[in-house]
Structure 1
Amino acid sequence: MASDHVFSPAPVVSVPVAGSAARFPVHRIYCVGRNYEEHAKEMGFTGREPPFFFMKPADAVVAVEAGQTGRIAYPSLTKNLHHEIELVVAIGTGGRNIQAADAHKHIFGYAVGLDMTRRDLQNDMKKQGRPWDIGKSFEQSAPIGPIVPAAEAGDIEHAAIWLKVNGADRQKSDVGKLIWNIGETIEHLSAAWELQPGDLIYTGTPEGVAAVVAGDTMEGGVAGLPTLTVQVAAAA
């Protein structure tokens, strides 16, 4: 049968779901900037500024099965690739103008993610007042572990969050230290965009962001969720 596309469409990007053979199809990836106070300070900012967002393409996802080690290539153009460990919220029911108190009704589950950042390129864009896309929205910049359904994730609002590189501590905090908590983030986000099933929200990273190089292995977690392990390979 003839195709009605000029070339074969790319396969749907998806993430494993813990305890299930079904997978979570990804629609959009939203990321929250500077959402832990100590990270905001290390980036040169202070205070509880209004939340702001940037996006990554769905195919930035590198989905890593529980107990496996994912691999990402060291990206082009950068000499300062930073790790940012994050709690990821997976949206199961969409909506617009969702109130913080109702946000939990829209959440399918939670996962551990990494927002990989070409920091030197991001900083150059900041200085020029230009968009961050080249620093944030590149291939393989959104590794993620299995999604745990919300009912099985425990007290995620107060869970420990951490990252080690080659076994040494790099980032260590608590989800309870989010400047804008999960409900508030969804409220602000859904006022600007109509959230859809399949959306992922990377909720921000705590202090301790730093560079990784080819050969480094990152191991990160949020209490109650499968650990995410990712190795940085040489440039593709």
Structure 2
Amino acid sequence: MKITLPGSKETLPVGKILCIGRNYAKHAAEMQSDVPGEPMVFLKPSTAIVRSGGVVVLPKQSKDVHHEVELVAVIGKGGRNIPEDEALHHVSAYAAGLDMTARDIQSKAKANRHPWSVAKGFDTFAPLGPLTPADQVGDPQQMEVSVTVNEETRQNGRTADMIFSVAYLVHYTSTIFTLEPGDLIYTGTPDGVGPVEDGDVAEARVSGCAPLRVRMSRELD
């Protein structure tokens, strides 16, 4: 999967998909989990990307796939150990995204103290909306994020309620991974996550960005 960064004609392969868990206190509460003291980072493969207008495949291994709407920060300028006060200069675009989660598989993994990679990493489990240049969006901590399923609002939150800001997430992840152009940071989801079924249509919105619209389709046995 490739993306074109704003202001560039060059297409880049999607790099690392860095996802942040429990970055909204109410979501942590609904998952019966503690609020983390530092960002909880997990990764998805680039094959999890599907663009707006595409199809999210509900895998046969799971009977309980959930939507999680997120603001996505797109890295345009790489770096390591990026200072927090310079971090947003490394973000070239923002987008609406969905972190699809096989909740039944995740719950089993948690119970066994296993990683979440399978629950989060199926093909098409990281829908990504159109990219909007960062300078057209403004303050990433003053955005509304929401998702509807079949035109019914399921999640509605504000990035002001993030535990860790976008700038801090760019800084923090760069102390672990060298960030590169084409990397994506899925910044966490507000409360209200829930299941999707075969044929459902989800529309994710982030204020200032174009909407993301995808259809769910059950994988056949």
SS of match in other structure, 1:62 = strand
Q: For residues 7-60 of structure 1, give each alpha carbon's deviation from its aligned partner in whole angstroms, at most 9, with x where no partner exists.
A: xxxxxx113567986545311100001001100110112445211100001111
* Inter-CA distance 24–86: structure 2 relative to 1 (3 Å threshold): farther
1:214 aligns with 2:203: no
| Structure 2 partner of 1:8 | none
Match for residue 145 of structure 1 among 129, 133, 137: 129
- Structure 1: which 5+ residue stretches go unaligned? 1-12
Counterparts of 1:59-208 in structure 2, within 5 Å, are 59-64=47-52, 69-208=53-192
| Paired residues of 2:84 and 2:170 also in contact (CA < 8 A) | yes
**Cα distance in 2 for residues equivalent to 1:49 and 1:207:** 19
| Aligned counterpart in structure 2 of residue 54 of structure 1, from 20, 24, 42 | 42
Identity of aligned residues (%): 40
TM-score, structure 2 as length reference = 0.94
Structure 2 unaligned spans of 5+: none
Alignment partners' CA distance in 2, 1:15 and 1:166? 28
Assess if the C-alpha contact under 8 Å between 2:3 and 2:182 holds in 1.
Answer: no
Q: Secondary structure at the match of 2:169?
A: helix
- Aligned CA-pair RMSD: 1.6
Name whichever of 149-158 and 52-61 sits farther off. Answer: 149-158
Contact 2:106/2:116 (8 A) holds in 1: yes
Q: What do residues 159-206 of structure 1 show as CA deviations (whole Å, max 9, x unaligned)?
A: 111011111110001011110000111111111111111100000000
Query: In the aligned structure 2, how far is the partner of 1:46 from the partner of 1:53?
Result: 15
Q: 1:111/1:128 Cα in 2 relative to 1: closer, same or farther (>3 Å)?
A: same
Kept after mapping to 2: 8 A contact 1:18/1:146: no
Aligned to 2:16: 28
The 3 A distance-change label for structure 1 pair 231 and 21 is farther
What secondary structure does 1:213 align onto?
coil
d(CA) in 2 for partners of 1:93 and 1:21?
15
Q: 1:181 to 1:88 in 2, by over 3 A?
A: same
TM-score (structure 1 length as normaliser): 0.88
Rounded to whole Å, the distance in 2 between the matches of 1:18 and 1:143 is: 19
Task: Answer yes or no: is the 8 Å Cα contact 1:37–1:179 preserved in 2.
Answer: yes
CA distance in 1, matches of 2:149, 2:93: 26
What is the SS of the residue equivalent to 1:161? strand
